Amino acid sequence: MSATLDATAEEQAADLVLTQNLKGFIEEKKSVPGSLISVLHRIQNHFGFVPRSVAKETAALMGVPLAKIYGVITFYHYFRTDKPGRHEIAVCMGTACYLKGGQDLIDELETLLGCSCGETSADGEFSISAVRCIGCCGLAPVMTVDGEVHGNLKPEDLAGIVAKYRET
């Protein structure tokens, strides 16, 4: 995950600003030491990622340098700085899933969606990422789509699953 320093046009768009609700949460948390990560979780839950414009606003509101916020965002795998697809696919690459063909699932998804792992498909519908163990090793190999777990998968199952989400 890399953070570009220049704000993109998308980030400057008017809707990528803190909501009243989020502002309230930050006000409430800013005096609680160590709450930056909880604030970032709340922001990512709302936007699906941490937009640069919002990171700047947050820095001002919390009184911390923007560099500190980006230091945290880029350290942790969970936070992302780019907009995810409408549906987020996470393929488990824990050891059990790796042994049972997790990589084959990623290869198949890349072919199906025409984008590589870590990217979003051109139509903005799906993004693919590889995640560490999601703790469903008994069902390996597994992936989640928008948090919903699909287990015991074979590459040939994926086209059907993708099609199902495309419709919803």
Q: Which residues bind another protein (CB under 8 A)?
A: 33-38, 40-41, 71-72, 75-79, 93-96, 98-100, 131-140, 142, 147-151
Cβ neighbourhood burial of 79 (10 Å; 0-12, 13-18, 19+) = buried
Min dist. Cβ of residue 147 to another protein (A): 7
Closest to another protein by CB, 113 vs 153, is: 153
CB of 161 to another protein, least distance (A): 13
Q: Which is nearer to another protein, 17 or 72 (CB)?
A: 72
Q: Write out the H or E segment, with its range, that includes residue 109.
A: helix 102-113
Q: At which residue do the structure tokens 């414009």 appear? A: 53
To another protein, the closest distance from the beta carbon of 100 in angstroms equals 8
Angle at the Cα of 124 (from 149 to 115), degrees rounded to 5?
Answer: 75
Residue closer to another protein (CB basis): 66 or 137:
137
Q: Which helix (H) or strand (E) holds 60?
A: helix 52-62
**Residue 131 CB, nearest distance to another protein (Å)?**
7
Q: CB-wise, 72 or 115, nearer to another protein?
A: 72
User: Least separation, in Å, of the C-beta of 4 and another protein?
Assistant: 20
- Residue 77 DSSP code: T
CA distance linking residue 161 with residue 18, whole number of Å:
34
Quote the tokens at residue 144. Answer: 């989640």
Tell me whether residue 49 or residue 79 sits nearer to another protein (CB atom): 79
Tokens of 153: 């998968």
